[in-house]
Chains A and B, each alone.
Chain A
C-alpha cells in the first residue's frame, strides 16, 4: 500500500524528518558546471521538493555523503589526538537504485575487505536510510540492468515522482509518522531494459585467459587516448581509493590533522614507491587495472560486479572514452 502526497505534504514530511536527519538528494547548482552557463547536478542537502533535481543524472554520485572527498581522521595537538565528532543526526539519501546498490559495493571494501572495518566509513554508513527514487527509464548512458543494479528492494521509503504527484511506499515503519496522505495501491517499479545493454565477461573465462586479457592490444588504444585526469574515478559511485595527507596549521605548526582524500588509480603518483619506482605508467595499463577491478577481480572477491552501470564515467570523460565499449571488448576477447 502506498501513500499519495502533494508537494506541500512532501515538504511537511521533509520538515518533520529534518529534525532528526540530514537529508541529501540530487540538486542543481546554477552556473557551477564545467563550462560557462552550465549547471552542475550533484548531491547536496535539501529542504524542499523543489530542491530535488530529477530530470538529469547527477554528475557526482551520493558516495561522498558517507565517504567525503576529504575527511579528517584525527586532529593532533602537541601531546594528544582527537577524533572529530560527527553530527548526531541520521542521514537520509534520496537516490536511484543503481546508487543505492553502489553503497553495498562500498560496504564490501570498507567493511568486509581485510580483517578490520573502517571506523570512519562505518559511523556514517550506519546512519544511512535509503529513500529510493523510482527509475524506470534511466538515461542514455545507463546500463544498470546489465550489471544487475537496476533493483533495490531494501529501501526505507520508495518514491515515485510523477511531475508534482508523489507516491511513496514506507517500508520502514520508523518513518510512518512523517508521511500522511491518501492510501493508494502502489507497487514500486524498476527499469527492466536500458537503451544500452552490455554483456559482462565471464569471470572464469578471464581467469583461464588472464595473461591473454592483460596483454591484449585493446588496452593500447587507451594509452593513446586517455589523459589520466581521473574524472571517471571521481564520478564513479563505487571507487573507494584514498591517500593520506597530513597538514599543520600555519599559526601553530605543532597542531594539525591527518586526513584522507580521494585518490585515483588513473592519475600519476598512485603507485609510486620509495626509490622512484612506480607501476602502470602507461595509461592503458591504468585503464586495464580499473576496468578489471570493476568487472573481474572485485567479483571474484565479493561475488558481485563492482560497476553499477550508472554510466557517469562515460558522461564525464573529456576524451569520450567509453567504459561500456571497453567492457564489450574484454567480453569479445575472452569469448574468442
Chain B
C-alpha cells in the first residue's frame, strides 16, 4: 500500500514575486488538479501546510504563497532549482461542468484570488464556455495587489472591477470593499448566474449576503474555505467544522451547505 503521508519532490522552476509577502512558486509537476483543490506542501525539518493551487498546466503547477508562518517563511527562502515537497491534490474543487453556458461572477478578496485564478484563466482561454464573466477583486491596499498583469489581461476580455480598501496618493482606481460594488453590478439573469466567492471569512460572509440581495439563488453561490490541516485526508480532525471535514467535503462548498457550517 502506497504511503499517503509520504510527499514527493517538486522542483521550483521559477519564483514570481507578487507583493512583498506573496510569491508565486512555479513547480515542475504533471498534476492536473480540479480548480479549487489544494496540496499539502512541506519542507522537511520545517513542516507541512495546505496550499491552494493557483494555476496549472500539464507541465507545472503554481502556488501563490503568503509569508505568514513557519512553513511559508521557509518556503520564501527557497530559490529556483530547490525543491518543495508535495502530496495531493486533495479535496473537492469547483463543479466547473455545471457552470457551462451560465453567467459567472467571481468575487475574490486578497489571497482568495489564488484558488480561483486557474478558473479565470480557463475562461480566458475558452471564453465560449460561459455566457459572461464578471470579476471583482479586492485588496487591502495598492501594494497588496496580486497578479496585477493578469488582472489587466483579464480586463481585455471580461468585466473586471479592481478595488482596494485603502488607496494611497498614487491610487486612482476604486476604493472600498467589494460589497460596495455588488449593488451596481450588472446581473441580467440571477437564476442563470453562478457566483464564486473566495477570501477572508468576513469578506465571504458579507459578499454572499450582498449577492443574495441581488436575487442570486443560494444554490448558485460557491465558496472556498481555508482551514488548518495536518493530513488533508479526513484523519487529523483540525479542519472539521461541526460534522463536515473541509478537506474531504470542501474546501469548495455550495452556499446552501456553507451556511450550515456552524463554528
Contact = CB atoms under 8 A, between A and B. Distances in A.
Interface of A: 73-74, 76, 81, 83, 109-110, 113-120, 122, 210-211, 214, 240-248, 253, 256, 258, 260, 263, 265, 270-275, 277, 279-280, 285, 289, 292-293, 296-297, 300-301
Given A243-B236, A279-B263, A296-B243, A256 B227 contact: no
Given A76-B44, A119-B3, A241-B237, 14 more contacts: A74-B3, A74-B5, A110-B235, A116-B233, A119-B4, A211-B262, A244-B48, A260-B236, A272-B228, A279-B263, A280-B263, A289-B242, A292-B242, A297-B242
Contacts of B1: 117, 119, 122
Given A241-B236, A260-B230, A119 B68 contact: no
Nearest to B242: A297
B227 to A, nearest CB: 6
Interface residues of B, number: 39
- The 4 nearest A-B residue pairs measured at CB: A114-B234, A297-B243, A241-B237, A248-B45
A83 B227 CA distance: 28
Contact of A274 (B47, B48, B68, B243): B68
Given A277-B201, A280-B263, A296-B243, A246 B47 contact: yes
Interface in B190-239: 200-201, 226-228, 230-231, 233-238
B228 A113 contact: no
Contacts of A114: 233-235, 245, 247-248
B5 A273 contact: no
Interface of B: 1, 3-6, 42, 44-49, 66, 68-69, 72, 200-201, 226-228, 230-231, 233-238, 240-243, 245, 247-248, 260, 262-263
A15 to B, nearest CB: 34
A214 B262 CA distance: 8
Contacts of B234: 109, 113-116
A244 B230 contact: yes
B238 A115 contact: no
Given A244-B230, A277-B201, A270 B238 contact: yes
A289 B238 CA distance: 12
Given A210-B260, A246-B47, A256-B44, A240 B235 contact: yes
A45 to B, nearest CB: 27
Nearest to A277: B201
A300 B235 contact: no
B45 A247 contact: yes
A83 to B, nearest CB: 6
Contacts of B236: 241-244, 260, 263
Contacts of A211: 262
B237 A246 contact: no
B238 A271 contact: yes
B6 A74 contact: yes
A109 B247 CA distance: 14
Contacts of B241: 279
A296 B240 CA distance: 14
A241 B231 CA distance: 10
Contacts of B247: 114
A333 B231 CA distance: 35
Contact of A273 (B72, B227, B245): B227
